[in-house]
Amino acid sequence: MINFSEYIRNIPDFPVKGIQFKDITTLLKEGDVFAAAVDQMYGPYKEEEINKIVGIESRGFIFGAAMAYKLNAGFIPVRKPGKLPAETLSEEYQLEYGTDSLEVHLDGIEAGDRVLVIDDLLATGGTAQATCTLVEKLGGQIVGLSFLIELTSLKGREKLSKYRVHSLIQYEI
Amino acid sequence: MINFSEYIRNIPDFPVKGIQFKDITTLLKEGDVFAAAVDQMYGPYKEEEINKIVGIESRGFIFGAAMAYKLNAGFIPVRKPGKLPAETLSEEYQLEYGTDSLEVHLDGIEAGDRVLVIDDLLATGGTAQATCTLVEKLGGQIVGLSFLIELTSLKGREKLSKYRVHSLIQYEI
């Protein structure tokens, strides 16, 4: 059994003073640990039919694309504004100061799609919630969400209470 | 045999007027086509020992991470400035007007690593060349590069002439 937290590097004061940044690149560079993390992020959903993996820009692309490959599922990128070239649906979410938004291609999700949402980190849950809203507005069904890391004190899980949420590593910070 | 080019969508005038943008999201959303693309991007290198996959931000993360998962290889992200939290090595490359740079973590590549560099698109080859330089400065060996799409008229392959270069789809534009 791999203790995934041993492969996460803590970087103090990144990107700004006071933040303890959880660096996942020390996990990614160990091939067997990365593969095991992808497998275990999928584990709780292995009885489910899933035909689309939605990955949130940009570290969510890393785990999401590997999982899509594993499942032979379609990979759907959710991106910051202006990055996706075709017609998009956009959803705002709250930042500490102000708002930001995420976009998905209108043809990325079809009615009846069974979707697993993937990102590296669950913090306040704002981006994950906006992503689920985008999927549902396009007729997709959220089977669940899976994260490598969850910062439990930020209570992102409460924002996602109507969904199944799984994380491999929890930090109380 | 899949004709991958059928799954690429052309978007005129994105991100700026005059550019014919090659949208890969229409390929990514077809699970079996995405998986086959990853497999065929790896194909020419399957006799090689490869222990690290380097993916260039951010669409290179999608193909690179899936390939790292497939091979049980480490995944090393090469990113735009300021995104990687630990100590980095940086390399400049030319844009049409001015320069930009890419970064890799100092501990991402170790001496003797056998590296495959992955991105979605080979255009002028500037980012790919900078990426190879970063890997080599850290003591890694470039086994080769693999791209989904190559814009042959931009002659990126000439810049990479000392390396093995493979692409699945070629456009003469």
Mean pLDDT across B8-36: 97
Q: What percent of chain B has pLDDT over 70?
A: 100
Percent of all residues in chain B with a pLDDT value above 90, rounded to a whole number: 97
H helix count then E strand count, chain B: 5, 9
- Out of B21, B38, B61, the one facing A62 most closely (by C-beta) is B61
Task: Convert the pLDDT of each residue in B111-141 to its tens digit.
Answer: 999 999 999 999 999 999 999 999 999 999 9
Mean pLDDT by 10 residues, chain A (173 residues): 97 94 98 98 98 98 98 98 98 93 98 98 97 98 98 97 98 89
The answer as to whether A23 is a domain residue is no
Q: What is the mean pLDDT of residues B101-105?
A: 98
**pLDDT confidence of residue B146:** 98
A17 assigned to some structural domain: no
Q: Which active-site residues of A does the annotation give?
A: 59, 96
Query: What average pLDDT does chain A have?
Result: 97
CB atoms within 10 A of CB B116: 27
Q: What is the CATH number of the domain that holds A117?
A: 3.40.50.2020
Contact B75, A35 (CB under 8 A): no
**pLDDT of B97 strictly over 90:** no
Residue A21 lies in a domain: no
Q: Tell me how far apart the alpha carbons of residues B26 and A108 are, in angstroms, rounded to a whole number.
A: 8
> In a mutagenesis test of the B interface, which of A17, A75, A89 is the best target, namely the one with the most B β-carbons within 10 Å?
A75
Min Cα distance B53 → chain A (Å) is 9
In a domain, B88, yes or no: yes
Q: Check residue B96 and give its pLDDT.
A: 81
Q: Which of A31, A61, A76 sits opposite B51 (nearest CB)?
A: A31
What does the pLDDT look like over B72-86, one tens digit per residue?
999 999 999 999 999
Q: Residue B68: closest CA among chain A residues belongs to which residue?
A: A31
**What pLDDT is attached to residue B173?**
77
pLDDT number for residue B28: 99
User: Does residue B122 lie in a domain region?
Assistant: yes
A75 falls within a domain: yes
Is the ipTM value over 0.90, yes or no? yes
Nearest CA in chain A to B72: A31
Does B8 map to a domain? no
Mean per-residue pLDDT over chain B, rounded: 97
User: Domain for residue A94, yes or no?
Assistant: yes
> Which is nearest to B52 in space by CA: B35, B64, B39, B37?
B64
Structural domain tally of chain B? 1
Cross-chain residue pair B21–A52, CB shorter than 8 Å: no
Domain that holds residue A117: 48-171
- DSSP letter for A44, please: G
pLDDT the model gives residue A97: 87
Cis peptide before B77 (omega within 30 of 0): no
Q: What is the largest CA-CA distance in chain A?
A: 44
**Interface contact A75-B35, CB threshold 8 A:** no
The alpha carbon of residue B102 is apart from the nearest alpha carbon of chain A, in Å, by: 16
Return the pLDDT at A173: 76
The pTM assigned to this predicted structure is 0.98
Output the pLDDT for position A69. 98
Average pLDDT over residues B27-48: 98
